[in-house]
Structure 1
Amino acid sequence: MTFTEEALTTAGPVTGWSGAPDYFAIREYSGFDPHAVVDVLRGRIAGAMFRGMVDPETCGTLAERFWASPHRRTRGVEAPGHFLGAYHYHKTTRTYLQESAEAAEAVDAVLDVPGDPIKRFHQGLADVLAPDGVHVRLAQHDGAQACRGLLRSWHGHGEYALAPHDDRSQCTEPQQADFEIQRVVDHNVVALNICLENGNGGRLAYWNVQPDDASKLRLGLHHTGSPYPLESLDGVEMEWLEVNAGDVYVFNGAHVHAVEPNTDPELRRTTLAAIFGFIDDSTVVSWT
C-alpha cells in the first residue's frame, strides 16, 4: 500500500504504545550526563536534553565548515535539504556502507576540532556502559563501517520542516535484512541530535505514541515511518522541546516526532545526528 489522500481519510487515528507520565518526558541536564543516555537506551525515560553541552565556538566552527564543504549535498527539490555524510534510509546495506566510506574523509575534516562532540558523546556512553560489559561501536557489515555522524539542515515547507515520522520503521527496510541495525528494533531505537545553529522556532515536536504495525500498514508506512498525517495524530499527547545551539538531546525514536520550521526563513537549523541502540545484551551500535 502506498500513501494516498484516500489513505489519509480512511486510515483513522494512529494507535500504539503510549508511556506513563514518569516515562514520557525529556529530562533536562546542565551539561552531559551519559547515565541519562543509558536510561533512554533501557527504556526508562523517553529522552534527555543536555543544555549547552557544546560550546558556541565549536558550534560555529562546525556549522561554518559544513556550509563551506564542497562535499555538502542536497536532497529534495521544492525545499531542498542539505547534508554531509550518509543516511541509511531506504537503501541497500551495500549502498549505505559504500556511501559512508566515500563520505568518511569529508565528515572527519568537518569534525576535526578539540572536543569533537560526537566522539565525546560516544566515549562518555562507552565509559558508563563498560562496567556492565557493554561495548559501543559503529554498526558494521563485512568489514565496512557505518557513517559516524550526519550533518544536515532540512527546509521542508508547511507546518513542519521535517514531517512527523518515526525512526523505528526504517530499521525494518527489506533491502537491509542482512544489516545488524535491524536487531535494534528488539530494543530501543534512540536518536541523537547535536544542535549547531538554530533560529526562531525549530522546536522538536514529540508525540506520546509508538505506532503499532496495524497503523503503519494502514498508512503505507511500514518500512518508512514517514510521513504521519497530522489528522492521524489528533488527540495524541504531544510535547514541544525548545532547542538552542550547543544543546545535545537523545530520545526514543520509535515515538512519532517532527521539527518545527524557523519563523525567520533567513535563519538555519543545522544539526549533527546519528541513531543508536542495543543489538544484544553486550553491544550498542551507531549509524546514520
Structure 2
Amino acid sequence: METAHASQVSSIAPVALRERTGSISTAEIVSMLKGEITGLHIKRAFSIEVAEEISANFIRNPGRKERKDGVPGQYIGASHYKKDAATYFAESETARPFVDALFGNLVDPVRGLFDALKRELSGHGIELRLARSEHGQANVCRALWWSGTGTYALEPHDDVAQVLCAGNGYELAAVANNIVVALNFYPSMPEEGGNLRIWSHKPTVADRKSQSVETTGYPYSTDYLKAVPSHDFKLNVGDAALIDGGFIHGVTRQFGNGKRRLLLNSFFGFARPDLVLWWT
C-alpha cells in the first residue's frame, strides 16, 4: 500500500508565465532569478538551421550515452543528479569535447545567452561563472532526449531536491536556498506531444518526504498532482524555455513523425548575492 502516493499537495502556488516570440531578454532572466517569473517560453529563439545542425551533431556524436540513473533517455555531457562532486566534475571534463562537438563552428545559442547574462550581471557587481571544484568545471550545457514511454516522456519532478541534497564538494548546493532556474533550448521536437508541463505547486521538504522523493525530487505521482492546476508550453524546433525548477514539471508523451524531443539543458541561480552559478 503506497500511502505516500495518496497524499494531497499542501499548497497551490501562483505561477507567472510568459510566452512570446523573439530573442531571450537578459532582463527577463534576471526577473526569473528574483522569482518574479515562473516560466518563460520564447518561440523561435534560435534559427531552424542551427537547430537542425545541432540535432545532426547529436545523432552522430560518439559521446552519446544511455542514462543509467532510473531516468530513461540518452545524453551528451554530464549531470550532477545522484553523483558526488568528484564524479560529476570529472565526467564534465571528459565530456567537454563531445559537448563542444554539438556546435562545431555554429553560433552556440547557449554560450551566447551565458555571455550576455554574464555582461548584464557584471554591471550590477554580480559574477556569473560555471560551477567548479578541484576536480574540474561544469560544462555550459548538456544535450539529451527523454525516452520514457508512459504517460510522460519525463515524469513530474522538481529540480531543487537534487541541488539541496547535492552533498559535499558542491558549491552549487547553496543555490537551492534561492531560485534554481532550468534553461532549455529545443533543436528537435516530435510532431505531437513533448510539451513542458508546469504544475502550480512548489513542494517543500515535507512534501518531498510524503512522496519519498526527498533527495531526488523524482518522480511525483499523478495521484498526488491530480487536483493541481497545470499549464503546457507547446514547444517547437528553435524554441527556448526557462522555468523556476522548484515548481513540479514534466514532459508529456511524444507522438508522430519519429523525431525525438532533443534539448540543450543547463541550470543556474544565486549561490550568494554577488555570485550566480551555472551547471548541468
Q: Normalised by the size of structure 2, how large is the TM-score? A: 0.94
Amino acid at match of 1:98: A
8 Å CA contact retained: 2:12, 2:228: no
- Which sections of structure 1, spanning at least 5 residues, go unmatched? none
Q: Name 1:96's counterpart in structure 2.
A: 88
| Distance in 1, Cα, partners of 2:147 & 2:67 | 10
Amino acid at match of 1:146: A
- Which sections of structure 2, spanning at least 5 residues, go unmatched? none
Give the alignment of 1:127-142 within 5 angstroms.
Answer: 127-142=119-134
Matched, 1:31 2:23: yes
Matched, 1:173 2:165: yes
After superposition, the Cα gap between the structure-2 partners of 1:79 and 1:49, relative to the gap in structure 1 and judged at 3 Å, is closer
8 Å CA contact retained: 2:77, 2:143: yes
After superposition, the Cα gap between the structure-2 partners of 1:213 and 1:70, relative to the gap in structure 1 and judged at 3 Å, is same
Matched, 1:14 2:14: no
How many residues are treated as equivalent by the alignment?
279
Q: Name 1:238's counterpart in structure 2.
A: 230
Greater CA deviation, 189-198 or 80-89? 80-89
TM-superposed deviation, 1:30: 2.0
8 Å CA contact retained: 2:197, 2:251: yes
After superposition, the Cα gap between the structure-2 partners of 1:221 and 1:77, relative to the gap in structure 1 and judged at 3 Å, is closer
Q: Name 1:64's counterpart in structure 2.
A: 56
Q: Name 2:38's counterpart in structure 1.
A: 46
Percent of residue pairs identical? 30
| Distance in 2, Cα, partners of 1:113 & 1:46 | 33
Amino acid at match of 1:7: A
Amino acid at match of 1:8: H
Give the alignment of 1:247-262 within 5 angstroms.
Answer: 247-262=239-254
| Distance in 2, Cα, partners of 1:130 & 1:17 | 36
TM-superposed deviation, 1:127: 2.1
**Structure 1 runs of 4+ with >6 Å offset:** none
8 Å CA contact retained: 1:163, 1:226: yes
| Distance in 2, Cα, partners of 1:33 & 1:169 | 28
Instruction: Give the 3-state SS of the residue equivalent to 2:238 in structure 1.
Output: coil
1:5 pairs, out of 2, 5, 10, with 2
Give the alignment of 1:205-244 within 5 angstroms.
Answer: 205-244=197-236
| Distance in 2, Cα, partners of 1:259 & 1:269 | 10
After superposition, the Cα gap between the structure-2 partners of 1:144 and 1:206, relative to the gap in structure 1 and judged at 3 Å, is same
8 Å CA contact retained: 1:58, 1:113: no
Q: Normalised by the size of structure 1, how large is the TM-score? A: 0.92
TM-superposed deviation, 1:26: 3.2
8 Å CA contact retained: 2:40, 2:242: yes
Q: Name 2:183's counterpart in structure 1.
A: 192
TM-align CA RMSD? 1.9
Matched, 1:160 2:155: no
TM-superposed deviation, 1:143: 6.1
| Distance in 2, Cα, partners of 1:203 & 1:162 | 10
